[in-house]
Structure 1
Amino acid sequence: MPIMLKMIDIFGSIRSLFKVQRVSEDTLIFRLHYRATVALLLASCLTLACKSLSGSPIHCEAAGSVDKIVLETFCWLHTTYSMVHAFNMSLGQAVPYPGVFNSKAVVHGHGPQPLVKQHKYYQWVIFALLFQAILFYTPRWLWKGWEGGKIHALMMDLDIGICSEVEKKQKKKLLLDYLWENLKYHNWWAYRYYLCEVLALINVIGQMFLMNRFFDGAFLTFGIDVLRFLESDQEDRVDPMIFVFPRMTKCTFYKYGVGGEVEKHDAVCILPLNVVNEKIYVFLWFWFLLLGALSFMTVVYRIVIIFSPRMRVYLLRLRFRLVRREAVETIVRRSKMGDWFLLYMLGENLDTVIYRDVMHDLANKLASRHHHSVPGIKGELQEA
């Protein structure tokens, strides 16, 4: 009972990943990595842990005088296996289950055999899911340190918009003074966030590759095999998930007999956890595909922003309609890409009317400085 209560507390702590944050320091796609995906991985890890604690993760049966607990412990530690040629035999006639066959040859469940498919992964699934969650949170951890609370500090409660005019005027002046004095000094700050987005993309691709290697290359054609299985007559085809997550496997156990000779016991094992593993990894595989595609488009989007000031103007106009077009063009022309990113993130957090006033005041100051320094010349949009 105390263990179950502890698990419930841990499940409750996962909800904090879904809490609506007052300050938005990143984008929606980035939050899918460190919130949705991390919560999904931790919930899967805890589900498997609860399943293991509430019942035995493996059940084995063998003929002869073999202690059941010893047999199950041995088969769990030294892995189980399936016979490759038995996957295509007729179920219920030639074999009792795909991959389970009465092997007369000497087969060691924990040794390499050309006709044997080893199943070693089930010991490591919980640890693998926990490690995956850590990797998905790493880019967020890096950005949280690099961002340093800059956006929250510059907000100064201006996201509420309900305050006295004197206080509002003072805070807007402080924000405007900071933007004016630190203009063109935010490139490195923005590029570090872009680096975190690239790391998030690399992480998704790398985890899909490792997942495929973890299950002996089965996931490369997994989606196609599943679709073919669903479209065809399911009685004539073997469920492709059985090849990756078999529910019944074999295990060979050796012990000394009463006469001192070595006895071989051919055991059949049921892996109930594979029913849960199957659902978890099928969902994760397609979720990673979607997340990888969205992350790739985000990286392409960032590249376009870096090399296209006109795109920055378009995006600011598209997102913040209250800001005049000439003000946006002036700011983008006189600033750099890092300043654009900071202004965009501030716009996501500040009150819309206050943000409009700050942008207009900043544009007027920039236009006035340029008018006094280079009279009569209209500047072009500056490349960051």
Structure 2
Amino acid sequence: MHDRDSDVIFLTTLVREIGDNEESSDVEDCSVEPYVYEPESSDCPSDVSESDSDIEESFSDAPNDHRVENTDWISSFLRSTFKGFKMISILGGISWKTLTGSTDDDWIDRANHLWTVCLLLLCAVIVSSGQYVGDPIHCWCPAEFTGTFVSYTKNYCWIANTYYIPMDAAIPKDIAQHQKAEINYYQWVPLILVLMAFLFKSPNIIWHLLNTKSGINLSRICELTDTINLGDSEKREECLKQIARHIDRWLRENRNYHRNILVRVRQKLSNLFVWCFARRDGYYLTGFYLFVKALYCVNCVGQFYLLDAFLAMDFGGYGFEIMAYFRDHGEWKETSRFPRVTLCDFKIRQLQNIQQFTVQCVLPINLFNEKIFAIIWFWYFFIAILSFYNLASWLCYLLFSHNKETFVRKYLRIGNQIRSGFDKKLSRRFANEYLRDDGCFLLRMVGKNSTDIILSDLLRLLWIMYKEAPFNNRSNTAYLKDQDVDAEPMVDNDNDRYPIDNRNGSPQKLKTISEV
């Protein structure tokens, strides 16, 4: 039995092979419906699931002219359908998720590499449409200029730049003064906007290229935890167990098991300077993420200087000038950096004579440029404040061990895992020696891209795994004794896991990961 698509392909190939060599039959007419050949005669089969021999037999009875016409129709239909499916598959691959990237950062990062990029590209499209759809420049030419001369004047003044002299000022005769007042940016505004968009996207590209070297797919972990939030409880728990096992393996494998002087020196440097990050020291993701955060801040400030050079003006104070003028006069200020009316000098060779002309031109495109760069200034100012605040917040979160311990205990308490003073003290080692900076950073990213419930459940599973299998030669009891804590062993002689409740001294059996 064939499905509908295989029947159509077989049917088309068969008719082409038969050609015009078949003898005509007594069948008066056959009509073709999509996917099914149904002749009017009762002898023609109509079921799409019939055998190949029946299909061949019914086609051999059909007239040649109908057969050729039907073959062309089917071939055309198949080609158009295939092209349609191909186009849909291509467009289906372009989604908002593709544009936004992965969920391995916070919303302030996305404000930099997504929202700002979209804003700049939208501005580039608006300016480009003003340049290439309409006339970006109009010049007031002498009366003797014909249509060709007028067109030449407009094109020349657009390419060769214009200069701005206030209407109440005399035009200087010195050509050098004209060159100092030149406006040479308006042709390149779309390109500079695209460049600015790329600069805002580049830290995110660097982050995606480097965080994969940590040994764990951070983006995939955050995506999975965000997806399972909407699933049923059983599937969600099973998926969380798989994620917890993967994180546990990553945490145990990426550490220094060989202790020597080089390892100790590198760890001391990592403790002092997070930029000396190494994967096995637990600072790799943390260090690179803070580095990317710093890149966002440098990019915001650097683009103010970039626009200073591009616009030949103090762009850093542009927004303050607009606000001050609007406060005093209640209207928009027309600045000399975005003039509507400019002047243009050009020369025309006529036989042996060279004539110089000065024409007055109007730049409608500067109506858009003035508003666009004002919007960009206010947006950059807002993004710069957010980026610096966000960098300072993450520095406090990631560089101070007290914040890691507070973060871990908060979500362990949500999961009802801190049942005794023993657990409270043990959570310190769990945060500083098991999770370390990279593990806490990963969990923070999970929490920022999912919910506190998901994060609490994931941390609970990691806590149980940590209690089941200590990861180094030092026992948990020895660690707690070093901290001057009266503690009992976590495991008894029968290898059963019993957390000791210091409040009443009675052991409670701890569930294993398979029992959770």
TM-score for both structures, normalised by structure 1: 0.77
Letter in 1 for 2:431: V
1:256 corresponds, among 342, 349, 365, to 349
Tell me the equivalent position of 1:50.
Answer: 129
Letter in 2 for 1:73: N
Q: Compared with structure 1, are the counterparts of its residues 282 and 376 closer, same or farther at alpha carbon in structure 2 (3 Å cutoff)? A: same
Tell me the equivalent position of 1:269.
Answer: 361
Q: How does 1:107-146 map onto structure 2 within 5 Å?
A: 107=175, 112-113=176-177, 116-146=180-210
Aligned partners of 1:150 and 1:48: how far apart in 2? 40
1:333 corresponds, among 432, 455, 475, to 432
Aligned partners of 1:319 and 1:114: how far apart in 2? 68
Aligned partners of 1:225 and 1:62: how far apart in 2? 35
1:193 corresponds, among 289, 313, 322, to 289
Tell me the equivalent position of 2:242.
Answer: 174
Q: Report SS of the residue matched to 2:228.
A: coil
Q: Report SS of the residue matched to 2:348.
A: strand
Tell me the equivalent position of 1:73.
Answer: 155
Q: Report SS of the residue matched to 2:164.
A: strand
Aligned partners of 1:34 and 1:245: how far apart in 2? 28
Aligned length: 344
Tell me the equivalent position of 1:224.
Answer: 320
Q: Compared with structure 1, are the counterparts of its residues 225 and 298 closer, same or farther at alpha carbon in structure 2 (3 Å cutoff)? A: same
Structure possessing the higher relative contact order (Cα contacts under 8 Å, 6 or more residues apart): 1
- 1:129-160 CA distance string (max 9 Å, x none): 01111111111112222334713443684542
1:76–1:123: 8 Å Cα contact kept in structure 2?
Answer: yes
Q: Report SS of the residue matched to 1:56.
A: coil
Aligned partners of 2:454 and 2:322: how far apart in 1? 53
Tell me the equivalent position of 2:481.
Answer: 376
Q: Compared with structure 1, are the counterparts of its residues 106 and 63 closer, same or farther at alpha carbon in structure 2 (3 Å cutoff)? A: farther
Tell me the equivalent position of 2:217.
Answer: 150
Q: Compared with structure 1, are the counterparts of its residues 121 and 31 closer, same or farther at alpha carbon in structure 2 (3 Å cutoff)? A: same
Letter in 1 for 2:430: I
2:443 corresponds, among 325, 343, 348, to 343
Cα deviation for residue 128 of structure 1 reads 0.2
2:164–2:181: 8 Å Cα contact kept in structure 1?
Answer: yes
1:156–1:171: 8 Å Cα contact kept in structure 2?
Answer: no
| Alignment partner of 1:304 is 2:409 | no
Which consecutive unaligned segments of at least 5 residues does structure 1 have?
Answer: 1-12, 87-94
Q: Compared with structure 1, are the counterparts of its residues 232 and 352 closer, same or farther at alpha carbon in structure 2 (3 Å cutoff)? A: closer
Q: Compared with structure 1, are the counterparts of its residues 276 and 257 closer, same or farther at alpha carbon in structure 2 (3 Å cutoff)? A: same
Letter in 2 for 1:246: P
- 1:1-37 CA distance string (max 9 Å, x none): xxxxxxxxxxxx998379777x621011100111100
Tell me the equivalent position of 2:17.
Answer: none
The CA RMSD over aligned residues, in Å, is 3.3
Letter in 2 for 1:359: L
Q: Compared with structure 1, are the counterparts of its residues 152 and 81 closer, same or farther at alpha carbon in structure 2 (3 Å cutoff)? A: closer
Aligned partners of 1:155 and 1:252: how far apart in 2? 60
2:305 corresponds, among 209, 221, 227, to 209
Which consecutive unaligned segments of at least 5 residues does structure 2 have?
Answer: 1-92, 256-279, 419-423, 486-516
Task: Among all aligned residue pairs of Structure 1 and Structure 2, give the percentage whose two residues are the same amino acid.
Answer: 22
Runs of 4+ in structure 1 over 6 Å off: 17-21, 317-321
2:411–2:456: 8 Å Cα contact kept in structure 1?
Answer: no
Letter in 1 for 2:385: A
Q: Report SS of the residue matched to 2:177.
A: coil
Letter in 1 for 2:481: G
Tell me the equivalent position of 1:29.
Answer: 108
Tell me the equivalent position of 1:356.
Answer: 456
Aligned partners of 1:140 and 1:104: how far apart in 2? 50
Aligned partners of 1:231 and 1:224: how far apart in 2? 10
Aligned partners of 2:381 and 2:411: how far apart in 1? 28
Q: Compared with structure 1, are the counterparts of its residues 39 and 317 closer, same or farther at alpha carbon in structure 2 (3 Å cutoff)? A: farther
Cα deviation for residue 359 of structure 1 reads 1.4
| Alignment partner of 1:61 is 2:140 | yes
Aligned partners of 1:219 and 1:379: how far apart in 2? 60
- 1:99-154 CA distance string (max 9 Å, x none): xx5526253xxxx4278511000011011001111111111112222334713443
Tell me the equivalent position of 1:89.
Answer: none
1:143–1:196: 8 Å Cα contact kept in structure 2?
Answer: yes
Aligned partners of 1:174 and 1:59: how far apart in 2? 67
Q: Compared with structure 1, are the counterparts of its residues 18 and 357 closer, same or farther at alpha carbon in structure 2 (3 Å cutoff)? A: closer
Letter in 2 for 1:203: N
1:80–1:251: 8 Å Cα contact kept in structure 2?
Answer: yes
Cα deviation for residue 266 of structure 1 reads 1.4
Aligned partners of 2:368 and 2:427: how far apart in 1? 53
Q: Report SS of the residue matched to 2:316.
A: coil
Q: Which has the larger radius of gyration?
A: 2
- 1:304-347 CA distance string (max 9 Å, x none): 23331222344566789834564865532333211110111123
- 1:54-76 CA distance string (max 9 Å, x none): 21111111225341111111111
2:157–2:344: 8 Å Cα contact kept in structure 1?
Answer: yes
